[in-house]
Structure 1
């Protein structure tokens, strides 16, 4: 993947301003394609964000060739979080759209170190079996959408 001299950016995006050095951050990692820094509104101690240097508002807008470098950086930083924080567990998450809780519209991965019983995120999903007929219809619709791509 060739690197352009200046990554695509959105002049109003807080993360683009961090990448450009216009806003400070507590940087923990940087490479050719990504930067990782401490979340200034942490959900848990050690909460880190990993972003591409290029501006892409969400996962659906991300180019395929940039997903690998972002996930590789996420894994590398997650390993460092595990080593330095010694958490009981870790969540990695990424939100797309307001309804999903996205507040900064620049693709980013959250690394959340977890402690047993910290109550940071609900783990109640998966406690109730889904309706198999509905699951079958949803799977068929997804296979059709994938075939059209």
Structure 2
């Protein structure tokens, strides 16, 4: 999708510090962090929401986020997928938030 921010990042049109990358996904720091450490995991292919993505890809993204969390946030982390406007999704390209670096309260909001 030509006007999608995350598609441009995946295509190297917008530079980011890549924390992890494979054929399917890319991980990098969020530019608007909501926790002391806030990382994103995106698929390289465009899927607007989690509901649009194949189950195998969702599993791979979750596994990638968990591995990254274990590496980057050994004291604990939260994985979040916001879906559509009411779910808090602001970039309509599937992405997983990995939040940590502090105690995460409950309920989240």
State whether TM-score is above 0.5: yes
Q: In the alignment, what sits opposite 2:7?
A: 16
Q: In the alignment, what sits opposite 1:5?
A: none
**Distance of 1:109 and 1:68 partners within structure 2:** 12
Q: Runs (4+) of structure 1 moved beyond 2 Å? A: none
Q: 1:34 aligns with which of 25, 32, 48?
A: 25
Q: In the alignment, what sits opposite 2:91?
A: 104
Structure exhibiting the larger radius of gyration computed from Cα positions: 1
Please give the secondary structure, in 2, of the residue aligned with 1:47. strand
**Higher helix content, 1 or 2:** 1
Structure 1 residue runs of 5 or longer lacking an equivalent are 1-9, 126-149
Q: What's the TM-score, normalizing by structure 2?
A: 0.90
Structure 2 residue runs of 5 or longer lacking an equivalent are none
Q: What is the RMSD computed on CA atoms of the aligned residues?
A: 1.6
**Higher strand content, 1 or 2:** 2
Greater relative contact order: 1 or 2 (C-alpha under 8 angstroms, separation 6 or more)?
Answer: 2
Within-5 A mapping of 1:54-65? 54-65=45-56
